[in-house]
Structures are given as structure tokens and as C-alpha cells.
Structure 1
Amino acid sequence: MKKTSLDRRSFLTRASVGGAAAAAGTVLAAPAIAQEAPQISWRLASSFPKSLDTIYGGAEELSTRLNEATDGRFNIQVFSAGEIVPGLDAINATTDGTVECSHSVGYYNWGKDPAFACGADLPFTFSARAKAAYNYHGGGVENYNTFLEKYDLVSYPGGNTGVQMGGWYRNEINSLQDLQGLKLRISGLAGRVVERLGVVPQQIAGGDIYPSLERGTIDAAEWVGPYDDEKLGFHKVAPYYYYPGFWEGGPTVSFFVNKGQWDSLPENYKSLFRTAAQAVDQNMLAKYDHLNPTALKSLVGQGAQLRSFSEEILTAAFTAAQEVYAELSNENEDFKTQYEAMLAFRDDWFLYQQTAEYTFDTFMMIQQRNGGLTKA
């Protein structure tokens, strides 16, 4: 027994010394996946302030997902609006290489090229669910990226707010006459549409809206919906809250990547980016759907006056939108190509929605109004 014990200790000692010597002279091979995963560090310029945890938070979520999926090898540092460039310049900063990527809304660049707006939203086109179907299965992502090649960009959906609210107004809007000369903060191509109704559109970044409204520089402002609007405090300076935001039925917030930077990524990183972006796209909508109902009740409780746009205003706006689209299609081939693809998808979508979805939702709303959904 004694000899066996000594032999065992002798063997363990020799094994330890041998193992240490081998480790000193040989580097263990790293797993193949680690060898193929380069260290990437990008900067992302957001168009949104940090205070808006929903829409700004989408970029942070993308960063976290990519970091976790690559064991810290693909890092994206997120900067809020104004930290590197103004919020409305985030896409341009991506094109010129100031940053590798950005999180923004395409219609912020519509003045540079109206076709930018097609990747975000056009008045009277899609709901959020329809936009997702079009983007991922109807060719929307591919159509947008074909256009973006001329601006050295690649883009993937990175969020949606759902149908937005129509904004905050100092005075009631009962007729088209009330819109004459109204200075309204409104983004993108929608400004060209409401301009035909007599509105004076103002494109102002999110963080600058409240002081402009408070000082009376503008008469009204639209942003997103109840959750974000309450955070920004619009109800304190403009009591009338209108719906729906017909100019944004399903606005896509997008990740824009400099094409040269995108092309340099290994294929597995590109796949991870697309997957993470799609997760952000769906999660942002779910978060807004969760938070907006409670926020709306809170706003009404604080004195917000909820109003719907009249059919007169909606009809006039719809007609104006069709006129603008016809003009832009004649002026800009890229816009025309994307818009016509959207129309074909939109027509089938709303034809179908009149059946199961619309009927179910309408029935449930009737039950709610009749008290049938009240908790026991």
C-alpha cells in the first residue's frame, strides 16, 4: 500500500511537470470560430436623445445583442443626437464616413432625395404590421438598398412605432380653415403634403421641439405617441392632442451602415447584424404597444384634450398626398420605383385586412364600449 501511494504521487508529480513544460513550449489552438471573428469597433450616431428610451434604446439594444453574440468582438458605441453630429445629419455622417453607422429615419433625408422617405414611411401607405410584411417578404429591404447604393449606404429596419398620433396643438383644429398658416413641426415628406392644406411645415429634431413649442416659435408639433410625448412634456404647452398621424401609419426606423464598412465585415457578422436588427425592429413596436395605452390614460388625466381629425381634413390630406406622389414619380425615378412597389403590396394588404383582422378588432372594440371587457 505504501509503495502504491508513493507511485501515485510520483506519477502525478511527473504529469504536472510534464504538463507545465508542454504548456510553456506550446500555445493551445484557439477554437476555429474565435480565429475567424475579428475585433470590430464602430461608432453609431443616433438621431434621437437618450431620454427617449424606446426609440433611442433601439440602437443600444443592437449594440448589446452584437456584443453578446460575438463574445465582445463586435462592438458598436452609441452616441445620441448632437454628441457627434446633429440628429438630422446622422445618415449623412454615415455616407461620408464620419461614423460607421447610424440609427435614424429615412425621411429626415427626403430633402436630399425624396426616395429616402420610402424606406421610412409615406402618408397613407402602411400600418406597422403591413410594413414589416412588405420589408421582409415583399421586397422592401431589397428595393431600399438598391436605391441606397448611390449614397454608399446599406440599411436594415431597426424599429417601428406603430400608427403615430397627430400631434399637439395650441388651439382646436375643427376644419381646413384652422390649418391655414399653422406652423407645425412635422418630419419628412409629410411636410410637403400638409403644406398643400395651408400648413407651414417645420422640421425640428426631437430634443428641440419642446422649447420651440413653449416659446411659440411653432403652433403645433407631432412626434411619436403617448409614451414619448409624455416624456417630452408637450401636454404642458399645447393641450389638444389629435389622432391619427396619417402621415406615419407604420414608420420604420432604420440602421444605416456605410457600404464600405459593411462590405468589410465577415459574412457571419453581417448575418448577426441583420438578425439583431430584425429583433430590435419587432421589439420596439412591442414596447410601444405595451407603454402607450397607460401613457395615454395618464396624459388625459393630466388634462390633455383628445381629439380626432375630421373626415374633411383626412380626405383633403389623402388627396394632397396622391398629388405629391404623382409629381415626385415624374421627377424622381428612384422614388417612382419604390412607390409603385409599395402600392401593389398595399392594395392587397388592405383588401385582406377587411376580412379577419378588421372584423375581429372591430367586434372586440364594440364589446369594450359596451362594457363587455370590464374585469369582473
Structure 2
Amino acid sequence: MPRSLASTLIVSASVAALSTSLARADEFTLRMGSGHPIGLLAYTETAHEWFAPELKKRVEERTDHTINIQEFHAGQVAKVTEVLEATQDGVLDVGFMSLIFEPSKAFLQTFTLYLPFGSPDAVETTKAAKATFAEFPEMAEAFESQYNQVYLGGACAENYGLGTNFGWENFSDLEGHKIAGAGTNLEWIVGATPVASNLNEAYQSIQSGVYEGYISASAWWHTFKLNEVAPFFKSVDFGVQYVSAVTINKQTYDALPPEIQEILVEMGEEWGMVTAEVCDRNNREGLDKLRELGVEVSEVSGAAQKEWAGALADFPQRMAEELNSRGLPGSKVLNFYMDALAEGGHEWPLRYQVK
């Protein structure tokens, strides 16, 4: 992301504020931000409602310092595709990011996307994903060694389902229909014809017949008013995805007192579970809201889910091979995560074979 004059001024202001803080050694200012609006997704809701106020509270209760937090969400400083780089450059001190929008830089860290039909339970997904990050510390370390920031923790995005303008029961019913998705989840669309799109385009695209459905979380379906043009939503249970992260610029982190660093690491560890509870709540409330709005909400049958997973049987192996070819532990990560979810009680409709 080339820096504009405005961005350069922002960086200069941030550095100056931090320098002033260091001189007084008792007051610090951190610029936090994300590319999404507050509350549209679970990770921005918890960034604003839990992380920012809780950080201020803990610092001021447990240290002699005070901390000021400036929040910049909804692309005020960085778009969803720019948060990682903005944190790398110091435009943001603390970045809350959806790694879905960093398919190259976070190719390994978005491993849950390569295993559709994981757990629909955000708490269990978070436990298994955190265990995977702990088993393979290079995933977190890459943020520092490659992108000048310290990885504080990860979090979920809500369980994915499928909204459509037609009803369906069997996997074969999708044949001949056009279904949209974004990024890696386009690979989940088999049987139907996949169409690349985004939620901002979905209303008009479904209304005009460009496509007939979209892979989405239930809460997003009514947030974007897609129920008005596609009044069917099926809980397909593609699974909760562990694709959100919070990081802090390395220079900012190093300039903070050890006691504040400790609190940041502590909160990064806790943030995943705080967000998991919001993800599960959003899924429940999203389905209830759709029912209130007259949407036909249903659950995928075990047979249809198993058939869909079978049609995707080669996908995890293909992704593992791509990761392996880049010198990354793709096969090991995917197998560890599948086992971790199973140990937590998840029953895979198909236990993918990854070598």
C-alpha cells in the first residue's frame, strides 16, 4: 500500500505522540483499527466493546501508567485489505484484521478455510485453533519476522451457511444454480457454479439474477438485507473459521513498559474466547432474526452434508500440497487441527485424508 501524504502525517503524529508519552513515562496513546465497521463482524465488536476498554482498565488498575486509545474502524485508516500493512508500517499501532483478505501473507494462518465442515461451535473451534497455533509457533512468529508486528492472538468468524432465493434439500439440488462466495470459500462451491463476489454486491446481484445464493453467516444475511431477495437460509455448517487476528507494531510494542506488554499478551490470549462467545451468540440470534423476518430457515441433512464433503475430498490435500511446496508444514497443520477438533467432540462428515 503506497503511503499517501495523509498516511505519512498519521505515522509522524503517532510517533510524536509515542515519543511524548515515553518522555513522561506515564501516559501512552495507541491507535487501534480495523477495516470493517464496529459490530458488523464479531471481531470488530469485541475489539471495540471489550479489548479497548479492558486494556485501558487493566493498565490503569495494575500499573502506574495511563493509556489513551484512539479507534479507527470501517477503513478510516486502512481498508480490510490494508490492515496488516498499516500495522507493519505503524500507521496503526494495534491492528484487528480479517486474514481472509491476506491470502498470500497469511496463507498458512487461515488453515481452517481449507477444511470445510469443521465445527459450528465457536468455542470448540477456538480451542482447537489455538492449540494448533501453539503446536506450530512459526505461524505466530511469521508476523514478527516478516511483517514487523507482534501477534497477540486470533479469533473466529461466525459459522458459515448458505442463503439462496430457492429452496433445496439434497446436494444434487444445487446443480445448475449459481452460488457466490469470496476468497477461499469459493472452493467450497461444488455441484453448483461458483461466482466470485462480495456481500456489498450480493443484494443487487441476486435481484438481477447474476447468481442465486451466497455463502454467508446468518447474521450477515439480514444485516445486508439479503432476506428481501433470497428468503431461504440453510445452516450448512461449513464451520466457524479462525481467521481474525490482533497484532501490534513491533516498534510500538518494544517502546512500551514490560508491564503493559504483559497485559497486551494476556489480553491477546483471552480475546479469542471472548470473541467465540460473540460468534456463537451472533449465529443463534441471526437465525432467530431471519425466522422473524419470514425467511425459511432449515438445517442441512446429514446425508447432504456428507455428500458435499465427499465432493470436496481432494481440496484439503490440494491445499496441503501447496503449503508444503512453499516450505510450510501444511499437512502437519491440517492433520493436527482435524484431530484437535475431533478430540473436542466434533464429528467430521468426512475425515479428510491429508498426506
Partner of 2:35: 47
- Residue 170 of structure 1: how far off its partner (Å): 1.4
C-alpha distance in structure 1 between counterparts of 2:293 and 2:106, whole Å: 41
2:342 to 350, 353, 357: 350
Cα distance change, pair 272–208 in 1 and its aligned pair in 2 (3 A): farther
Aligned-residue RMSD, C-alpha: 3.5
Report the counterpart of residue 110 of structure 1 in structure 2: 103
Aligned to 2:139: 144
Aligned-partner residue type, residue 46 of structure 2? G
1:56 match: secondary structure? helix
Match of 1:309 in 2: 300
Q: Give the TM-score, by structure 2 length.
A: 0.73
Distance 2:70 2:36 in 1: 15
Task: Report the equivalent of 2:196.
Answer: 202
Query: How big is the shift at 1:177?
Result: 5.5
Is 1:155 matched with 2:151? yes
Distance in 2, matches of 1:154 and 1:338, equals 22
- Computing the radius of gyration from Cα coordinates, the structure with the larger value is 1
- 1:192 maps to 2:187: yes
- Amino acid in the other structure paired with 1:219: E
1:253 equivalent among 241, 244, 247: 244
Where do residues 27-46 of structure 1 align in structure 2 (5 Å cutoff)? 39-46=27-34
Q: Counterparts of 2:129 and 2:211 in 1: how far apart (Å)?
A: 35
Shift of 1:238: 0.9
Alignment of 1:96-107 (within 5 A): 96-107=89-100
Please give the alpha-carbon distance, in whole angstroms, between the structure 2 residues aligned to 1:220 and 1:54.
23
Superposition pairs for residues 1-376 of structure 1, below 5 Å?
A: 39-50=27-38, 52=40, 54-60=42-48, 61-71=50-60, 73-112=66-105, 114-118=107-111, 122-126=115-119, 127-138=121-132, 139=134, 142-148=137-143, 149-161=145-157, 164-173=159-168, 174-176=170-172, 178-180=174-176, 182-186=178-182, 188-194=183-189, 196-204=190-198, 209-210=202-203, 212-214=205-207, 216-226=209-219, 228-246=220-238, 248-290=239-281, 292-311=283-302, 313-319=304-310, 321-333=312-324, 336-347=328-339, 349-351=341-343, 353=345
Does structure 1 retain, via aligned residues, the 8 Å contact 2:156–2:240? Answer: no
- After the TM superposition, which of the residue ranges 112-121 and 99-108 deviates more from structure 2? 112-121
Q: Counterpart of 1:41 in 2: which secondary structure?
A: strand
Write the distance in 2 (CA, Å) between the matches of 1:97 and 1:203: 31
What do the CA deviations read for 1:216-266 (whole angstroms, capped 9, x no partner)? Answer: 55432233334x4333322122111011231x3343422133334334433
Distance 2:86 2:37 in 1: 17
C-alpha distance in 1, partners of 2:346/2:171? 29
Code of the residue aligned with 1:240 in structure 2: it is F
User: Structure 1 pair 183/271, CA: closer, same or farther in 2 (3 Å)?
Assistant: same
Contact 1:48 1:207 (8 Å CA) reproduced: no
CA gap of 1:166–1:354, structure 2 versus 1, over 3 A, is: closer
Structure 1 segments unaligned to the other structure (5+ residues): 1-33, 356-376
Do the aligned partners of residues 203 and 353 (structure 1) sit closer, same or farther apart at CA in structure 2, a change above 3 Å counting? Answer: same
Could you say what secondary structure the match of 2:317 adopts?
Answer: helix
CA contact (8 A) 1:103 1:158 kept: no
Runs of at least 5 residues in structure 2 that lack an aligned partner in the other structure: 1-21, 348-355
Deviation at 1:73, TM superposition (A): 3.1
Counting aligned pairs with the same residue, the percent is 16
* Structure with the bigger percentage of strand: 2
Counting matched residue pairs gives: 316
Q: Distance in 1 between matches of 2:332 and 2:37?
A: 34
